[in-house]
Structure formats: structure tokens, C-alpha cells
Amino acid sequence: MDFTAELQRQAARVERGLDQYLPPADTRPERLHTAMRYSLQAGGKRLRPVLVLAAADLGPGAPAKRADPLPAAVAFECLHTYSLIHDDLPCMDNDDLRRGRPTAHRQFDEATALLAGDALLTHAFALLAEHYAGQPALAHALLRELAEAAGSRRLIGGQMADLLAERQDAATAADLEFIHLQKTAALLEAALVCGGLVGGADAATVATLRRAGRALGLAFQIIDDVLDATADSATLGKTAGKDARAGKATFVKLHGLDASRRFAAQASATARAALRELPGDPGFLVALCDAMAARSH
Amino acid sequence: MDFTAELQRQAARVERGLDQYLPPADTRPERLHTAMRYSLQAGGKRLRPVLVLAAADLGPGAPAKRADPLPAAVAFECLHTYSLIHDDLPCMDNDDLRRGRPTAHRQFDEATALLAGDALLTHAFALLAEHYAGQPALAHALLRELAEAAGSRRLIGGQMADLLAERQDAATAADLEFIHLQKTAALLEAALVCGGLVGGADAATVATLRRAGRALGLAFQIIDDVLDATADSATLGKTAGKDARAGKATFVKLHGLDASRRFAAQASATARAALRELPGDPGFLVALCDAMAARSH
């Protein structure tokens, strides 16, 4: 398998899906739909939707049990993008730059960014409800997984805990693990699980995907912390060193650079081992995990 | 039927449901769950959840097809409360008072209010996904209805259009109808429809509920506009005259008080006529419609 070619193929599939499954920009109210598309089509790694597609492609579900994973993949990018838009708002991180372009509230205004985020969150659920309507049990399982991953105990809970840790400047290692597992790992885990569900995976495979996603998410976030401390803004496409200056709880701040790199390598190894247990050919997912571990942005 | 007693009974059921189906305030992160409960338990008319319960109680579904409507009722109040929290934020209406108490961002802070709103929106979907898991087809139908009603073409679209009309100060009668149908009627309509679905209603009954909800929503919003122009803040429990001062597009501004009262009466009559077509005993819903038309806050 040519990893780079396969990654490009899956990412291109995601880009087409984003265009296909978002309301057109000329849908009333146009400003809202333009803003949704602006943030969603700003590029990025498309990691979450690629995980959905790759997990679905694994099989081993019987063709009759499988469904098109693309709407689910797009739902995950909608959800991820909503969290970025709201995170960037002045009352949160107050960021001007995202993926090398003005953030939504800088390009439009705060109210439009707020509503575009709300709309992308809601659209993630609408996409799953609409496109898997022919298989209500599958639709329900996907919706439940997404709602839990995005909820107050997981994604949003992690963002709140992150904010509180920053304010109090007193995060412990346990706080930090909670933040990272909820803020980042929740969605990566759910992406792999939902991909598996769409692909007709059995319960054991879904459990393995969940375990892999959790470790992958932890690795991903620790590497994010390392890059924030070591890379420059141009490479990152966002303001570097910002987390450290803001007094955010990061692995690097708590454990130092060397230990953080070691933690990231351990979590990546855990993810890789879980992925190798998967049926079918998990080669692409393993290579994706390795690429994540070695990434520079 | 004693309307007041029945309304109190249903509202008390909602209050118990809100406590039962929200994560406890001591769930980590505590500040987020405290804020979610603060806004949700601030009182209010509980109109949407009461509509869910009343439509579900109509029957006429066979007992085997029926499910407990309370989680769905709570989901609608979560969704309504999220929209209020975000609407009150400084970048939107910048309101300090809601139901006679400080708004969420005044009581906590902007970031917490933003995340509490996000979490209540997500929790609405999670509640439906979790509590109707035993009937995946029903769960799917409810989730789909809620996602559409709350989406960028309906609830959020209406809020965006409202905001744009206020900025441009040039709303036409058609703009205003779009705003009111999406911003207010979408959720009332979906509440009646979801109540019907939980109660096992057939397709014709669901269609009648949808028609009634649309007219009821329009009436409700026109009366809101009339009250904003005529009542005082103490009676309303929110800042009176604010919409007019903000240059918001309202029925009163566009058509004057008398015509607005006439429009509201017409829409109420349309809703009442549709409700009377319903099977079972729609007496409570008809009385609720009349009480809405005669309300002073």
C-alpha cells in the first residue's frame, strides 16, 4: 500500500463529501451557510473523517450490512469544526488564525461564528439521521455514539476542564489526562467506532477500535502540546507557543519535553498494537498512526 | 377537565424530569453541569415539554407501541434553553435578565455559558438516543425530527435571519414570517410531532400535529412581539421594549398593534381548528392554545 496516495485518496473523498453534504451557500440564510462552509472548507488534516472511512473500509461486515461511510465522515468533520469555531471565540481562546486563515469570528463576526458553530454541531446529527434512515438501528447507534462523545462529560467537558485548569494554573497529571482524553480522544475514538459500525463490524472489533482510538487520541494531543512548544506558527498554521503563554495545562508544562515525547511514543505504540489486532487489512490505519506520531504540524 | 390543574400536573412532571435526566451538578466538570442546571431550572412556562407530554398522552397508539414521553419532553426543554443561553450572550442580544434571574453569562461567565449551551444542545440528542434505545426506529425518528427543527434552515436559521434583519433594519413581511416560522414555530411544531411519535400516533395524526404546531408557533411569537411592546419588565421576567429599541423586526413594528393582535388571533384559531381534528381527547391542547393566546407574559 502506498500510504501517501491512499491518504490523499481518502482526504479527497472527504473534500467531495463536505461539498456534497453541506447545505449550499445560497440556502437562506446565506450568511450562515457561507460561514459554515468557510470554516469547514478551510482545509486541515481531515483526520477524524479519514478515520471513519478507513475503519469502515476494513470490513469485515457482509456487504448487505454495510452503508456508505461518507455522510458519517462528514458528520465528524462538522462536529470537529464546530468545536474549533467555538474554541476560537474571544470568550474562549480568542484566536485570530486557524489553518492559516482568519478564524470565523474574524472573517464574519462573533454572532455569525457562534451560530455557524451551533449549526455545524446540529448538522452532524442531522446528517446521521438523514443518510442512514434506511437502517434505523445503525442510524441510532451512530447518533448515540456521537452524542456521547460530544457531550458534557466528554468533548465539551474536556474543553471546560481545560479552561478551568488554565484559569487556576494548577492542573495535576490526573486533570491533564482527563482533559486530553475528553477534549481530543473522545472524538477520535468515536470516529473509529462509527466507521466500524457503518462497516458492519462485530462487537469485539468495535471494542478494539475504541481502545485504539483512545490511545491514538492521547498520543495526538501530547504531540500537539510538544509542537506548540517547539514549532513555529507558519508550520503549524496557527499561533505557536500560545498554549504555554496562556498558561494552559499541557504535557510539556507538567512533564517537560523529553517525558512528553516518551509518553506520546508509548501511546502511539499502544494504538498501533490495538490496530494490528483488527480483522481485514489495518495497514493504512497503522501507517496513519505512525504518520501522526511523526508529524510536524 | 380542570385546565389549570392539568397544566400544573404536566409542568410538575417536567420539573421532576429535568432533575432526573440532567447529569448531577457534581459530575465532573462541576462548573459546566452546575451552569446547565442553573439555566434549565430557572422556571419558565415549560411550553415545549408540556406539548410533548400532551401530544403523547393523546394516544391513540397501542400501549405496546408507546414509550415514556418524559425524556423527549426534557430534550425539548434542553434545546430551548440552549437557544436562550446563546441568544442572551453579549455578541447576540446581550441580555442580563432571563426569567427574572441573571442570564448564564452574567451568573457564570461567557465561556461557561457558551459551553453550557453547547452541552444542552448535545444533551437533547443524547437523551433521545439513550432513552429510546429499546425502540431504535422511534429513537431515530425523534432524533431526525429534532435535528431538522434545530438546524441551520430552521431554529438557527431563524436566529441568524432575525439578527440580520435587526442589523439592516429593513425586514419585509416575508422576512418576518420566515424568522418567526423558523425561530419559534420550528420547535413547537417538532414538540407536538415528537409527542405524537412517542405516543404511537399514525402518519395522519402526526401531520395534523405538525400543522397545529406551526400555527401555534406563529401565534406564540406574534403575541411575544405584542407583549414586548405593551407589558412591563416585571411582568415579563425579561427586559420589556428591548426588541423595539434594538430595532428588531417585530410584527408590531411592521404591522402595528391592532393588526398584530388580529394576526395572532387568526393563527390561534388555525391552531385550535387543527387540534380539534386530533383523535383522542385534545381538550387540554385546545385549552393550552387558548391560554397562550390570552397570556400576559
- For the residues of chain B, what is the DSSP string, one character each? --HHHHHHHHHHHHHHHHHHHSPPTTSSSHHHHHHHHHHHTS----HHHHHHHHHHHT--S-GGG----HHHHHHHHHHHHHHHHHHHSTTTT--SEETTEE-HHHHS-HHHHHHHHHHHHHHHHHHHHHHTTTSHHHHHHHHHHHHHHHSTTTHHHHHHHHHHHHHHT---HHHHHHHHIIIIIHHHHHHHHHHHHHTT--HHHHHHHHHHHHHHHHHHHHHHHHHHHHS-HHHHTS-TTHHHHTT---HHHHH-HHHHHHHHHHHHHHHHHHHHTSSS-THHHHHHHHHHHH---
For the entire predicted model, the pTM comes to: 0.95
Chain B nearest C-alpha distance from A225 (Å)? 22
Report which of A178, A184, A244 is spatially closest to residue A219, judged by C-alpha positions.
Answer: A184
Choose among B86, B115, B130: nearest Cβ to A118. B86
What local confidence, expressed as pLDDT, does residue A65 receive?
62
Q: Does A281 touch chain B (CB under 8 A)?
A: no
Contact A121 B126 (CB under 8 A): no
Q: Is the pLDDT of residue B172 over 90?
A: no
Whole-angstrom Cα distance, residue B191 to residue B54? 10
Domain A3-293 fold is Farnesyl Diphosphate Synthase (1.10.600)
* Chain B residue nearest residue A159, CA to CA: B115
A164 touches chain B (CB under 8 A): yes
Q: How many alpha carbons fall within 13 Å on the CB side of residue A95?
A: 24
Q: Does pLDDT of B62 surpass 70?
A: no
pLDDT recorded at residue A172? 87
Q: What is the DSSP pairing of strand B101-102 with strand B97-98?
A: antiparallel
pLDDT at B244 over 70: no
- Rounded mean pLDDT of chain B? 92
Over residues B179-202, the mean pLDDT reads: 95
What does the pLDDT read at residue B237?
65
| Chain B residues within an 8 Å CB radius of A67 | none
Rounded CA separation B248/B163 (Å): 8
For B199-204, what is the mean pLDDT?
A: 94
| Boundaries of every domain in chain B | 3-290
Backbone angles phi, psi at B246, to 5 degrees: -75, -5
Residue ranges of chain A whose pLDDT lies below 70: 60-65, 233-240, 244-245
pLDDT, position A43: 85
Task: Write the pLDDT tens digit of every residue in A232-254.
Answer: 766 666 666 777 667 777 889 88
Q: Which residues of B touch A159 (CB under 8 A)?
A: 115
A-proximal residues of B, 123-142, CB under 8 Å? 123, 125-126, 128-130, 133, 136-137, 139-141
CA A235, A241, A244 angle in degrees (round to 5)? 150
What residues in B contact A147, CB-CB < 8 Å? 122-123, 125-126, 129-130
**What pLDDT sits at residue B166?**
86
* Chain B nearest CA to A161, separation (Å): 6
Test B114 with A91 for CB contact under 8 angstroms.
yes
Contact A156 B92 (CB under 8 A): no
CB atoms inside a 10 Å sphere around CB A27: 15
Q: Are strands B97-98 and A97-98 parallel, antiparallel or unpaired?
A: unpaired
The Cα B149–Cα A7 span in angstroms is 36
Q: State the pLDDT at residue B60.
A: 61
Q: Is A178's Cβ below 8 Å from some Cβ in B?
A: yes
Q: Which residue has the higher pLDDT, B66 or A79?
A: A79
Displacement of CA A17 from its chain's centroid (Å): 16
Interface test with B, best of A22, A145, A156, A177 (most B CBs within 10 A): A156
Q: Using CB atoms, which residue from A32, A139, A148 is nearest to B157? A: A32
User: What's the confidence (pLDDT) of residue B239?
Assistant: 67
* Contact status of B178 with chain A (Cβ, < 8 Å): yes
Mean predicted confidence (pLDDT) in B261-268: 95
pLDDT the model gives residue B261: 94
B111 and A126 in contact by Cβ < 8 A? no
Give A170→chain B minimum CA distance, Å: 15
Cα distance from A279 to chain B (closest Cα, Å)?
28
Which CATH architecture group holds B3-290? Orthogonal Bundle (1.10)
Q: Which of B36, B86, B141 sits opposite A152 (nearest CB)?
A: B36
- From chain A, pick out residues whose CB is under 8 angstroms from the CB of B114: 86, 89, 91-92, 114
Q: How far is CA B222 from CA A155, B84, B86, B227, B234, in A?
A: 38, 18, 22, 9, 20
Q: How far apart are CA B188 and CA B184, in angstroms?
A: 7
Would you say residue B231 has pLDDT above 90?
no
Q: How does pLDDT run across A115-125, given as a tens digit for each residue?
A: 999 999 999 99
Mention every residue, 6+ apart, whose C-beta is less than 8 A from residue B193.
B55, B145, B206, B209, B210, B213
How many other C-beta atoms are found inside a 10 Å radius of the C-beta of residue A116?
Answer: 30
Give the pLDDT confidence score for residue B169 in this predicted structure: 76
pLDDT at B236: 65
Report how far residue A292's alpha carbon sits from residue A295's, in angstroms, rounded to the nearest whole number. Answer: 5
